[in-house]
């Protein structure tokens, strides 16, 4: 299958401009991609917008009324089938702070069914956000379940999550955290600093021990100061660290989003931190098995009863558009939603349009809303608009 478009984000588009181009798909992978017109007439000629790599979201607590922490395999599959509506073609379901025994049970269950989930966005594994976090920076997490990353707890989670545990967020200042970072990293698990009251020096020690990410930059962490740089200061300065950013323009102001991208080029990735309320009407939902409320209003995030922000209702295509609205170049924003997160968790076949890469693609409208999505070369979503359907094969 050969697709042409007036703008295609290929590996060669690195100057901020997205030129016309084409993508040839052979089975489930990209066979060829380039600028300009293809050598033969394309099977699909997109009339406008742009063709980009499918988005990769490393922090998704839930979506469409489903909270992964308390959902069964059928509910996970429903979310995976629908996430391509947002341009997301691969993601990490995320579980937040809970008793270690419950998290281990959740990991064991996921390990049993994740390999069989097909027909939508790729489930890349599981992200554990907690329970090894700072009580003073817990955000919406339940303080009763926060604990230290002692060897027994880490061992239990690694054993239960074998083959499925991909990312762990922890506070590096907790007793035993540096040893835990080394053990998790040795087991192939990416470690992220988050929900942390660490000083910059403590974050630097975490990076030296193997941590490679910072969870939702600026949120639930010791802030940037001009004498104590805190978590954000070290995150932006340390070239070993890539930071997730919730670009809903509520968690982080637009000008601060722009500053982050400028301060750490190539090391800011977009995440949604979506909760079960994402894609749903205002109302009551769950996060970590406890109530949250999605208030009315476009872009408003969910909150706990005390007003604490509790995840988001963000779409990944909206996150890209928001970043662009803050002055981030389009190609940079798209890269932050695709290649950077894929590379961070060791999936270089995802998040790019290049020969040999997975044929995970999203057709975005001129205003960066998802029109159609392919996963492994298979068309899995269209917005149903007449113009969209007219461009695609019956």
**Residue 214 near residue 222, CB atoms below 8 Å:** no
Angle at 273 between CA 301 and CA 127, to 5 degrees: 155
User: Helix, strand, coil: what percent of the chain each, to 5?
Assistant: 30, 25, 45
Closest CA to 368 of 97, 107, 57, 18: 18
Q: Find the DSSP H helices in 86-146.
A: 100-113
Q: Which of 175, 176, 168 is nearest to 193 (CA)?
A: 168
Question: In whole angstroms, how far apart are CA 211 and each of 208, 291, 370?
Answer: 7, 31, 33
Residue 302: DSSP 8-state: P
Q: Is 15 a catalytic residue?
A: no
Find the DSSP H helices in the chain. Answer: 73-82, 100-113, 151-160, 177-186, 200-209, 230-237, 254-263, 316-325, 330-336, 339-344, 386-391
Answer yes or no: are the C-beta atoms of 363 and 371 closer than 8 Å: yes
Running DSSP on this structure, what letter comes out for residue 116?
G
Cross-strand bridge partners of residue 167: 127, 190
Which ranges in 17-117 belong to alpha helices (H)?
73-82, 100-113
Phi, psi of 240 (to 5 degrees): -80, -15
> Which one of the listed residues 273, 317, 335, 360 is annotated catalytic?
273
Q: Distance between CA atoms of 95 and 125, rounded to whole angstroms?
A: 11
- The DSSP symbol for 70 reads G
Alpha-carbon gap, residue 76 to 61, rounded angstroms: 11
- In whole angstroms, give the CA distance from residue 60 to residue 103: 16
Rounded CA gap, 219 and 266, in Å? Answer: 20
Q: How far apart are CA 145 and CA 128, in angstroms?
A: 13
Active site residues: 273
């Amino acid at each position: 299958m050969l697709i042409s478009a007036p703008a295609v984000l290929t590996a060669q588009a690195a100057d901020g401009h997205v030129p016309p181009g084409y993508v040839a798909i052979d089975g489930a992978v990209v066979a060829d991609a380039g600028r300009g017109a293809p050598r033969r007439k394309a099977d699909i000629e997109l009339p406008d917008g742009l063709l980009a790599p499918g988005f990769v979201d490393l922090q998704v607590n839930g979506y469409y009324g489903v909270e992964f922490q308390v959902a069964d395999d059928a509910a996970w599959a429903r979310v995976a089938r629908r996430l391509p509506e947002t341009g997301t073609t691969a993601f990490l379901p995320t579980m937040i702070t809970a008793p270690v025994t419950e998290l281990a049970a959740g990991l064991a269950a996921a390990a049993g069914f994740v390999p069989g989930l097909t027909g939508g966005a790729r489930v890349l594994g599981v992200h554990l956000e907690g329970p090894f976090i700072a009580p003073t920076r817990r955000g919406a997490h339940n303080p009763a379940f926060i604990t230290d990353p002692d060897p027994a707890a880490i061992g239990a989670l690694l054993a239960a999550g074998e083959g499925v545990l991909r990312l762990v967020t922890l506070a590096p200042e907790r007793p035993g955290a540096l040893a835990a970072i080394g053990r998790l990293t040795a087991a192939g698990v990416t470690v992220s600093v988050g929900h942390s009251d660490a000083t910059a020096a403590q974050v630097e020690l975490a990076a030296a021990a193997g941590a490679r990410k910072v969870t939702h930059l600026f949120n639930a962490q010791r802030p940037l100061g001009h004498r104590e740089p805190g978590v954000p200061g070290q995150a932006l300065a340390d070239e070993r660290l890539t930071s997730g950013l919730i670009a809903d323009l509520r968690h982080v102001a637009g000008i601060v989003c722009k500053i982050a991208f400028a301060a750490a080029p190539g090391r800011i990735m977009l995440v949604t931190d979506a909760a079960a309320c994402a894609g749903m009407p205002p109302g009551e939902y769950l996060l970590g098995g406890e109530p949250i409320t999605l208030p009315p209003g476009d872009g408003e995030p969910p909150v706990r009863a005390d007003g604490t922000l509790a995840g988001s209702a963000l779409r990944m295509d909206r996150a890209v558009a928001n970043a662009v609205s803050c002055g981030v170049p389009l190609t940079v924003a798209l890269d932050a939603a695709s290649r950077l997160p894929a590379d961070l968790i060791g999936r270089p076949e995802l998040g790019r349009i290049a020969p040999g890469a997975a044929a995970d693609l999203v057709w975005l409208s001129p205003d960066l809303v998802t029109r159609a999505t392919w996963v492994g070369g298979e068309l899995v979503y269209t917005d149903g608009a007449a113009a969209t359907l007219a461009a695609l094969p019956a």
